[in-house]
Amino acid sequence: MTAPIRILLVEDDEVDRMAFRRFVAGEDLPYNYTMVSSVAEAKKRIDDGSFDVIISDYLLGDGTAFDILALKTDIPVIITTGAGDEEIAVRAMKAGAYDYLIKGRGHTYHKILPVVVDKAVERHNADERFRVLADRESSETVVVGSTGMSDVLRLVALAASSDVPVLISGETGTGKNLIAKTIHMKSGARQFPFLSINCTALPENLIEAELFGYEKGAFTGAAKTRKGIVEMAENGTLFLDEIGEMPLHLQSKLLDVLEEKKVRRLGSENVTPVNVRIIAATNINIEEAIGRTFRKDLYYRLSVLRIIIPSLRERSRDIPELCSYLLARIKGGRVFRLSDPEMQRLQQYDWPGNVRELKNILERAVILATGPDLRPSELLGKRNAADGPVNALPDPPEILPLEEMEKRYITAAFRTFSGNVTKTARELGVPLSTFKRKLKEFGLK
């Protein structure tokens, strides 16, 4: 028998706690769980004990799931949010959450829970030092559909036939990792390593050590000499994810690597020649950061080939083809259908989490399906492309009762500050206690 999965459940809602307990007992899941109701308690438990996975509700008495993420433990965090808060979920994923669950009525999300937990634990057990894409992912193809993606694919082919640096940008979940890996697999370097490092996942000094390596004694804890991943990717591809977040002084060191094709380990006198193709990715508008948080010279070095992946909402025509591709990969022999109205709803939705979100929703729809007809649209947020951003204020001609206006404004502000109660109250200029009362009143908490 394998060891039970140790879960820390951070949940302050008694109904949800009970539902969880009942579900785990009812399904006889191999979970060993601890329940806490606040960020402070969670922090204490994490310091004291060891867990395989943290499941945290989004809104907590003394903060939000973002405060849990800010603890930067290396335990995967799954956040749960209410229906309609998909955007928070997407933002949480960007902030480092491993996955999310949308709490619907009747606790149907519990059915998905074991799958999500298993996936998270699997990842936790994987080598975290740098993530080499798992083999089963390397068989993925890029679905191009009918639109803007064909330009992307042309550039992929061009990139694969040379070894110049490539800079990929696109919103979260548009396939930047997939494209980077595809370039590598189509290039002459395919039999050499493809290594990737996420420039936001680690503190600055660790990224530096990971990238460039170090000599024994270079800093406290450097017990032995270690190669950095720039060296380890020799002859292959180094994927620098979220390059836009790379601290400035590392940017200049990276520029040296690109210009000199040499790397100096921390604490070393010597330089080692390196031959590695660099692919960088960003989901911020990096052109806007040039000269401020991003070095201009590095930008030009990296963007010899520039690939911009359109968001899914800009290519909703690709959705049917993406659905058949993604479903073929997940359904495991069962036959499923998507009716025309279902497909229409999928095409109208605005997909803040792009293809990743589509994939998640389809996976979940498959788990929840009782017959051949899938109903993924039931798992979507209330938003659709026509609604525009959720935090938009009504246009001036629409006159709303003040209270409704206040509610919308507070909701928008609360989302803008990622559900940070203290910060939102401060920005709105209201006392914390008043703000908390309003949240309750408007059912936001």
Ligand X SMILES: Nc1ncnc2c1ncn2[C@@H]1O[C@H](COP(=O)(O)OP(=O)(O)OP(=O)(O)O)[C@@H](O)[C@H]1O
Stretch that binds Mg ion, among 44-52, 175-183, 247-255, 401-409 (CB under 5 A): 175-183
Tell me which of ligand X, Mg ion, none is bound by residue 64, counting a contact when its beta carbon lies within the kind-specific cut-off of 5 to 8 angstroms: none
Q: How far is the CB of 174 from Mg ion (least distance, A)?
A: 9
Going by C-beta distance under 8 Å and a sequence separation of 6 or more, which residues neighbour residue 241? 176, 177, 196, 197, 198, 199, 280, 281
Instruction: Quote the CA–CA distance of 145 and 324 in Å, as a whole number.
Output: 11
Q: How far is the CB of 241 from Mg ion (least distance, A)?
A: 5
Return the residue of 80, 177, 303, 424 that touches Mg ion, per CB under 5 A.
177
CB nearer ligand X, residue 324 or residue 434? 324
Instruction: Quote the CA–CA distance of 178 and 140 in Å, as a whole number.
Output: 8
355 in contact with ligand X (CB under 6 A): yes
Torsion of CA 17, 23, 25, 29, to 10 degrees: -110
Contact 14, 22 (CB under 8 A): no
CB nearer ligand X, residue 325 or residue 409? 325
Q: How far apart are the first and last CA of the chain?
A: 41
283 in contact with ligand X (CB under 6 A): yes
Q: How far is the CB of 406 from ligand X (least distance, A)?
A: 34
CB nearer ligand X, residue 142 or residue 428? 142
Instruction: Quote the CA–CA distance of 133 and 182 in Å, as a whole number.
Output: 11
Q: How far is the CB of 127 from ligand X (least distance, A)?
A: 18
CB nearer ligand X, residue 263 or residue 365? 365
Q: How far is the CB of 323 from ligand X (least distance, A)?
A: 11
Stretch that binds Mg ion, among 78-86, 168-176, 215-223, 405-413 (CB under 5 A): 168-176
Contact 187, 194 (CB under 8 A): no
Pairing of strands 272-273, 262-263: antiparallel
Q: How far is the CB of 140 from Mg ion (least distance, A)?
A: 13
CB nearer ligand X, residue 164 or residue 330? 330
Tell me which of Mg ion, ligand X, none is bound by residue 103, counting a contact when its beta carbon lies within the kind-specific cut-off of 5 to 8 angstroms: none
CA geometry: angle at 283 spanning 64 and 307, to 5°? Answer: 165
Q: How far is the CB of 322 from Mg ion (least distance, A)?
A: 17
Tell me which of Mg ion, ligand X, none is bound by residue 143, counting a contact when its beta carbon lies within the kind-specific cut-off of 5 to 8 angstroms: ligand X
| Residues 178-197 close enough to bind ligand X by CB under 6 A | 178
CB nearer ligand X, residue 38 or residue 172? 172
| DSSP string for residues in 5-72 | EEEEEE---HHHHHHHHHHHHHHT--EEEEEE-SHHHHHHHHHHS--SEEEEESEETTEEHHHHHHT-
- What is the Cβ-side half-sphere exposure of residue 260, based on CA atoms within 13 angstroms? 12
- Residues in the interface with ligand X (CB under 6 A) total 16
356 in contact with ligand X (CB under 6 A): yes
- Phi first, then psi: what are they for 121, rounded to 5°? -70, -40
**168, β-bridge pairs:** 281, 307
- Phi first, then psi: what are they for 177, rounded to 5°? -60, -45
Q: Residues in the chain, how many?
A: 445
Instruction: Quote the CA–CA distance of 180 and 120 in Å, as a whole number.
Output: 23
| Pattern 142-181, ligand X, x by CB under 6 A | xx--------------------------x-xxxxxxx---
Binding residues (CB under 6 A) for ligand X: these are 140, 142-143, 170, 172-178, 283, 325, 355-356, 359
Binding residues (CB under 5 A) for Mg ion: these are 176-177
